[in-house]
Amino acid sequence: MNISIFGLGYVGCVSLGCLSKNGHTVIGVDVSQDKVDQINKGQATIVEKDIDEIIADQHKAGRISATTDFKAAIFQTEVSIVAVGTPSSAKGHLNLDYIFNVARNIGEVLKEKEAFHVVALRSTVLPGTCEKFAHIIEDASGKKSNVDFAVVDNPEFLREGTAVEDYYNPPLTLIGGESEKATSLISSLYEQLPAEVIVTDTKTAEIMKYVNNTFHALKISFANEVGNISSALGIDSHKVMEIFCKDKQLNISPYYFKPGFAYGGSCLPKDLKGLQTLAHDLYVKVPLIESIDQTNVIQIQRAVSLLSKFFGKRIAILGLSFKAGTDDLRNSPSVELVETLIGKGFDISIYDSNIQIAKLTGKNKDYIESRIPHLSKLLVDNLDYVIDKSDVLVVCNKEKEFIQKLSSIKGKTIVDLVRLPAHNEVKAENTYHGINW
């Protein structure tokens, strides 16, 4: 199939490479000339396991390209996938400007295009958004939704750090739409994947990603609270959660039930806030959902108070992004931790192999320069140097590089926010503090 993908960020870049690897011809569209140039040079726009190789191979095979010219891309394709950002506004509502700009672009082209066109929203959007998207296209094109074109919701379930693996093994494939022709066409895109395909009405599909992400955040906050209580009693919270997950009556997966640091990233905080704001707008009371974020704030404060006793020492932050395997700094709790520590006068250096100053390109460079320029001065590109010059090492994510390095280190003070796999060995050779175990 010929497919255009709007947005070449974390979701768009992975979809571009993986759909192409499955035999489709894919054109990426982005407003960022930098990202378009990267794809046309055979380079990925993000840091993610395996994606560099996939993009390079598919570019060489001639199945992927990118452009800022949305008209050309829509004319050459029968399906458009939308993967532009849906960030939170200051009040927690979704900023749908990027999404609706794409709707206007598509409407403008469909005015002149005869063939049936399917649009799949892969971006996370609240119920009712696909309907509004379709109205914008109708207004701009004079065409009729579910007759001349169709808009379906097709939420993305990948996680940064394991995005390619998740693309090929999703927990489920969900398609919401009212046109059978469109939902079958989109289903066929994923027929090689092992996941169950669920076709539903549009609004049910739209709410699902919010429900899922809110539950992931709830699991993390629950595990962290259990961890904090267990730690006060000298109980190993990881053992507690391991036994908890074996209870057959609960029938839950152990994913996210790992006591440790606060959650973060571009999805969980934003989608939790999105569902909460929707509930407020509907006058529905949600005290349970509202409390999830309070626990998360407490977890960051807990890390700050754990570190407060080291005032005057040189602190190394190992891992600035919210998890291993990604360069995404949006809503990273480590960024918040560092900012609080700077405010308290700590002497800090930061190491993250995915965010090296010398390699900063595209989005990350823009993000750092515009949102956290004060932190760029603290970033150091050499792990050994950071370790040598610091008195206290704070492990903020599970990047393999630190895990390996710390398992061979001796005589340091280590504050472990993520529970290093070799924590017992690390404890034997160093002064070791875990956040909640």
Residue positions forming the annotated binding site for substrate: 157-160, 209, 256-260, 264, 323
> CA 310, CA 262: separation in Å to the nearest integer?
21
Q: Is 84 in the site for ligand NAD (CB under 6 A)?
A: yes
CB atoms within 10 A of CB 196: 10
Tell me whether residue 1 is exposed, middle or buried, using C-beta atoms within 10 angstroms of its C-beta: 0 to 12, 13 to 18, 19 or more: middle
Strand stretches in 169-277, DSSP E: 173-176, 197-200
197, burial (CB in 10 Å: exposed 0-12, middle 13-18, buried 19+): middle
From CA 181, how far away is CA 355, in angstroms rounded? 44
Annotated binding-site residue numbers for NAD(+): 30, 35, 86, 124, 160, 270, 330
Stretch that binds ligand NAD, among 5-13, 286-294, 381-389, 428-436 (CB under 6 A): 5-13
* Mutual angle of helices 202-232 and 268-281, in 10-degree steps: 120
Rule CB under 6 A: say whether 179 interacts with ligand NAD. no
Determine phi and psi for 153, rounding to 5 degrees. Answer: -100, 135
Which of 17, 85, 269, 333 is in the footprint of ligand NAD by CB under 6 A? Answer: 85
Binding status of residue 11 toward ligand NAD by CB under 6 A: yes
Stretch that binds ligand NAD, among 78-86, 129-137, 216-224, 236-244 (CB under 6 A): 78-86
Q: Report which of 135, 136, 170, 168 is spatially closest to residue 155, judged by C-alpha positions.
A: 170
36-44, 155-163, 244-252, 408-416 -> range binding ligand NAD (CB under 6 A): 155-163
Find the binding residues for ligand NAD in span 328-347 (CB under 6 A). none
Please report whether residue 361 would count as binding ligand NAD according to CB under 6 A: no
Cβ partners under 8 Å of residue 184, min gap 6: none
Binding of ligand NAD by 316 (CB under 6 A) = no
Residues in contact with ligand NAD, counted by CB under 6 A, come to a total of 26
- Displacement of CA 433 from its chain's centroid (Å): 28
Does 325 sit near ligand NAD (CB under 6 A)? no
Residue nearest to ligand NAD (CB): 9
Q: Which of 3, 4, 12, 151 binds ligand NAD (CB under 6 A)?
A: 12
Q: Does 160 bind ligand NAD (CB under 6 A)?
A: yes
Q: Which CB, 32 or 356, lies closer to ligand NAD?
A: 32
**In terms of CB distance, is 327 or 416 closer to ligand NAD?**
327
- Which H or E run includes 431? strand 431-434
Quick one: which of 96, 157, 85 has its CA closest to 123?
85
Q: Which positions from 254 through 283 interact with ligand NAD, judged by CB under 6 A?
A: 266-267
**Binding segment (CB under 6 A) for ligand NAD, from list 81-89, 218-226, 241-249, 378-386:** 81-89
Which entry of 13, 18, 130, 267 is annotated as an active-site residue? 267
Stretch that binds ligand NAD, among 154-162, 254-262, 285-293, 316-324 (CB under 6 A): 154-162
Which pair of structure tokens corresponds to residue 21?
């690897």
- What are the tokens at 247? 């209870």
Of the candidates 225, 287, 213, 234, the one whose C-alpha atom is nearest the C-alpha of residue 262 is 225
Longest dimension (CA), the chain: 71
- The residues with which 118 forms a beta bridge, in sequence order, are 79, 150
Cβ nearer to ligand NAD, comparing 153 with 156: 156
Q: Which is nearer to ligand NAD, 9 or 227 (CB)?
A: 9
Tell me how far, at minimum, the Cβ of 381 lies from ligand NAD, in Å.
24
By CB under 6 A, residue 29 contacts ligand NAD = yes
Phi, psi of 273 (to 5 degrees): -65, -40
- Angle at which helices 97-110 and 129-141 cross, to 10°: 40
Q: What single letter denotes the amino acid at residue 409?
A: I
CA atoms within 13 A on the CB side of 91: 5
Query: Min. distance of Cβ 306 from ligand NAD in angstroms?
Result: 28
* Run of H or E including 184: helix 180-189
28 part of the interface to ligand NAD, by CB under 6 A:
no
Candidates 3, 4, 6, 337; binder of ligand NAD (CB under 6 A) is 6
Residue 101 binds to ligand NAD (criterion: CB under 6 A):
yes
- Look up residue 207 and give its two tokens: 């709410």
Q: Which of 158, 337, 386, 435 binds ligand NAD (CB under 6 A)?
A: 158
396 is catalytic: no
Show Cβ contacts of residue 143 under 8 Å, excluding neighbours closer than 6 positions.
Answer: 110, 111, 137, 149
As measured in angstroms, the least distance from the Cβ of 87 to ligand NAD is 8
Please pick, from the candidates 24, 88, 117, 156, the single residue that binds ligand NAD as defined by CB under 6 A.
156
Does 86 bind ligand NAD (CB under 6 A)? Our answer is yes
Q: Could you list the residues that contact ligand NAD (CB under 6 A)?
A: 6-12, 29-32, 35, 83-86, 98, 101-102, 123-124, 156, 158, 160, 266-267
Catalytic residues: 267
